[in-house]
């Protein structure tokens, strides 16, 4: 209220409409043959909520332990069975899309980072967790729930009617999608610039027109963080600048 900011709709990923939409999009992936069950071993970052590459996303501490390059927290090696999305099958299609849409990501250096990452080789993506009660149940397999990025990214479309199968919802979705621009910080660029487009292509849906990727607001040399407590209160900013 202090900043006179308001929203049109507040969405939680526990909303029934969201769950319905997520199941609908994953069923499209299943019907297309883009999801399969397998076992994966890799290095996991709790902060990123994702498996990470040691060569691209990790650093070592003084003791030789691997840390997430973004969160500076230890990585853990995990071995788990689950459902995977065939992200690797979309590598060439994504590169072609970036080439044909050079303004898809702003600023340009972020686009170059994404292209370099995709060219280095995409691995299939784990999209489920076993015996996690709070997630959305995986279609056809009650032992698994849908994992965060295959769930939460879809709120951009479930929040505007996707998957609800009513005339008003379909009209709403047609009005608002594809988005003119999606805004995010650089730490989640890969999820939005690689995973999200592949998810949409696999569901035969339009991609957003542009991604605007910004850096961090820093306090000293570090990203502002609630956990570190190195924050500047927005109330003070409003008092100083209006």
- 179 or 231: which carries more pLDDT confidence? 179
- 91 or 63: which carries more pLDDT confidence? 91
Q: What is residue 42's predicted lDDT score, i.e. its pLDDT?
A: 82
Q: CA 180 to CA 104: how far, in whole Å?
A: 10
Q: Does residue 121 contact residue 90 with C-beta atoms inside 8 Å?
A: no
Q: Does residue 148 contact residue 125 with C-beta atoms inside 8 Å?
A: no
Give me the percent of the chain exceeding a pLDDT of 70: 100
Region 53-62: what's the mean pLDDT?
84
Q: Quick one: pLDDT band at residue 31, thresholds 50, 70, 90? A: very high
pLDDT at position 119 over 90: yes
- Averaged pLDDT score across all residues of the chain: 92
Q: What is residue 57's predicted lDDT score, i.e. its pLDDT?
A: 82
pLDDT at position 49 over 90: no
Q: What is residue 217's predicted lDDT score, i.e. its pLDDT?
A: 83
- Tell me the pLDDT tens digit for each residue of 142-200: 999 998 889 999 999 999 999 999 999 999 999 999 999 999 999 899 999 999 999 99
- 59 or 197: which carries more pLDDT confidence? 197
What's the burial of 6, exposed, middle or buried (CB within 10 Å: 0-12/13-18/19+)? Answer: exposed
């Amino acid at each position: 209220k202090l900043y006179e900011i308001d929203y049109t709709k507040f969405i939680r990923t526990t909303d029934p409409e969201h769950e319905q939409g997520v199941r609908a999009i994953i069923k499209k992936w299943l019907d297309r043959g883009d999801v399969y069950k397998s076992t994966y071993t890799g290095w996991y970052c709790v902060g990123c909520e994702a498996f990470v590459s040691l060569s691209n996303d990790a650093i070592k501490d003084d003791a030789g332990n691997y840390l997430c390059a973004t969160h500076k927290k230890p990585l853990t090696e995990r071995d788990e069975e689950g459902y995977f999305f065939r992200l690797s099958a979309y590598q060439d299609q994504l590169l072609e899309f970036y080439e044909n849409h050079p303004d898809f990501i702003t600023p340009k250096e972020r686009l170059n980072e994404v292209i370099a990452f995709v060219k280095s080789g995409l691995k299939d993506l784990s999209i489920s967790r076993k015996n996690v009660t709070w997630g959305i149940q995986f279609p056809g397999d009650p032992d698994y729930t849908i994992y965060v990025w295959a769930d939460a990214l879809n709120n951009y479309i479930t929040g505007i009617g996707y998957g609800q199968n009513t005339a008003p919802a379909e009209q709403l979705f047609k009005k608002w999608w594809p988005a003119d621009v999606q805004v995010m910080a650089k730490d989640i660029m890969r999820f939005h610039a690689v995973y999200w487009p592949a998810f949409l292509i696999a569901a035969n849906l339009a991609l957003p027109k542009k991604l605007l990727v910004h850096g961090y607001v820093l306090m000293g040399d570090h990203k502002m963080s609630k956990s570190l407590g190195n924050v500047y209160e927005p109330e003070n900013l409003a008092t100083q600048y209006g």
